[in-house]
Amino acid sequence: MRGSLKHFMILLCMLLIGGVFIAGCTTAPTTPAATPAAAAPSTLTIATTTSLYDTGLLNYLEPIFEKQYNVDLKITSQGTGKAIEIAKKGDADILLVHSPTQEATFLEEGYGLNRRTFAYNYFKIVGPASDPAGIRGKTPEEAFKAILTQGKAGNGAIMFVSRGDASGTHTSEQGIWKKAGYDYAKDVQKSGNWYIEAGKGMGETLQMASEKGAYTYTDEGTFLAYQGKLSLVPIVEEGASLMNIYSVMTVYPANPQVDKIAMSNNFVNWLISPDTMNNIGNFGKDKYGKGLFTPMTTGIPKGVTADFTTPATATKPLKVYHAGSLQSSLSKLEKTFEKAHPDIDVQLFSGGSGAIVDKVTKQNQKADVLASADYSLIPKYMVPNNATFYIDFAKNSIVLCYTDASKYSGEVTADNWYKILGRADVRFAISDPKTDPAGYRSLMTIGLAEKKYNDATIFNSLLASNSRITKTVKDGVWTIDVTNTSPDAKKLTITATGPDIAPLLKDGKTDYAFEYSSVAAQSGLKFIALPTDIDLSDPEKTAQYQTMQVKRPSGSTTVTETGTPIVYAVTVPVSARFPDLGYEFVKLLVGSDGQAVLNADGQTPIVPAEAFGSVPGALKPAVTVKG
């Protein structure tokens, strides 16, 4: 027994010792925590113009952004027209181009948001140092005219190589041909061997022009980058037409993803940041002695409107069509709305009220809000298919604007204004009566004046003898026909839109102009307040105003507008992409904030605003429903 116990105790000890040893051997050693793998970079695609790519600016900026945001930038470089097409197809997240007109269309069609203007340089007309067309010292328009005239005349030494690719540069070139008085498609394009369409980027176009000893139109940055390879020199470098403005915007695709839009917004904000703007301004100085681009932070050029300070936070656009006379008020309300809704980019598109109504009813444009200077256009042309309600929210009147430099400005009064306008050396202007209520109302005012002052010469001396505007009278009702206006542009000028009026007056290109009283006040213009019998401001004189009609073109047909008191109306079209946001914007416009802005801008708000039709429940608390 004792032996067995002894063996048992030895065995037990061995087992205990072995267990401790095994336990010690199987304990895992302490090691540092594994470092997580770096997140894979997200991808952003930029569709851009060749001038930004060929100069090397994007290659310079690309790694800075990629490192800061862990993003892989994919850059595709085309002419602006092609870059825009890529963005429209949803194959790009960011658009970076230099054609304001094409950019505005891109936004209006609903493809973008958060447009910010960040830099500029200038276009140049370059060519052989010998300057065979003799354009040195001329304006851009005069230079183009000289090149075309001599090129068409068969001077073989004169050629012009165009980008010919719908790029921003090509679009700017076409704009100068138009300002020079030419129809590009008819007078320039394919008009002879002197004019060559390269269909290539700026760098290749410059090289082609250099090889042929031809003139060409180029942006400054690309020319400096290629200058050492060319036998071309700058010849025309000055002129307002040569301003070249670069902008960036986030693409809003058919199937938007908020995360992708937010990352694209990061790029926009980074591009307009002080550090990046400084880098853009310095780019090229070491190699060319000057920067290839001037950032907007150095100062906005005269005549340019640019936003480069508002952070890009919006992930959704709100499209507002409006009469030009509402531009000032709605621009203020845009800021108020965006402050309350930082995820929304309010986009304002102005035009004659007839034109913007046609865009919705005939051109399938989608607007979230439409504000007309003539309330009657909405029930007449939009209800019921394109709108189900409208709200009257403001009043106005027609006045006669002038400046101290206007002829006989010291004599003109509310009683003799038509006699002053009738003098042979006096010029006056109206906006386009074919599309703009301010234009056709100006004609109604002239017609009403002939009745009020019992002077049968007024219409003829002011309108019929200076244009093809005619009138017929039946049962005391005038029908003024503007289907073919053809103003002489000497005594009578017809501008495309109302906002074009003030610059004409201030530049001394006309002496007087008919406009809304609110626009005159906002523009700082002097004006004659006309009698209520003719200024279309008094609802009690509706029957009198209705004796004036204007027959105007609308698409392939004609329509007739009847004189009414000037009342502004707003609606949310049936086709609105974001009707709920549209209602919110309308509530702001017709509410106390909107009323205060309208009052400050010289426009009389209707308080409370009056609504007609099937008024949405969201708007009923803000208005008085009239029917």
Q: Report how many helices (DSSP H) and strands (DSSP E) the chain contains, helices first.
A: 23, 26
DSSP-derived secondary structure for 412-477: --TTTHHHHHHSTT--EEEE-TTT-HHHHHHHHHHHHHHHHTT-TTHHHHHTGGGSS-EEEEETTE
pLDDT, position 38: 57
Structure tokens at 578: 């974001």
Query: Domains (ranges, CATH) in the chain?
Result: 42-120+244-314 (3.40.190.10), 122-242 (3.40.190.10), 317-386+571-625 (3.40.190.10), 398-562 (3.40.190.10)
DSSP 513: E
Strands (E) located in 60-214: 71-78, 94-97, 112-127, 160-162, 195-197
pLDDT, position 3: 42
Q: Give the closest residue to 627 by CA, choosing from 383, 306, 265, 412.
A: 383
Structure tokens at 254: 């058919």
Q: How far is CA 388 from CA 319, 334, 380, 614, 617, in A?
A: 18, 24, 12, 6, 13
pLDDT, position 60: 95
Burial class (CB in 10 A: 0-12, 13-18, 19+), 286: exposed
- Report how far residue 364's alpha carbon sits from residue 361's, in angstroms, rounded to the nearest whole number: 6
pLDDT < 70 stretches in the chain: 1-38
pLDDT, position 22: 33
The residue type at 236: V
What is the SS3 assignment for 542? helix
pLDDT per residue as tens digits for the range 246-296: 999 999 999 999 999 999 999 999 999 999 999 999 999 999 899 999 999
pLDDT, position 40: 77
- Cβ–Cβ < 8 Å for 616, 402: no
Q: Give the closest residue to 42 by CA, choosing from 7, 68, 60.
A: 68
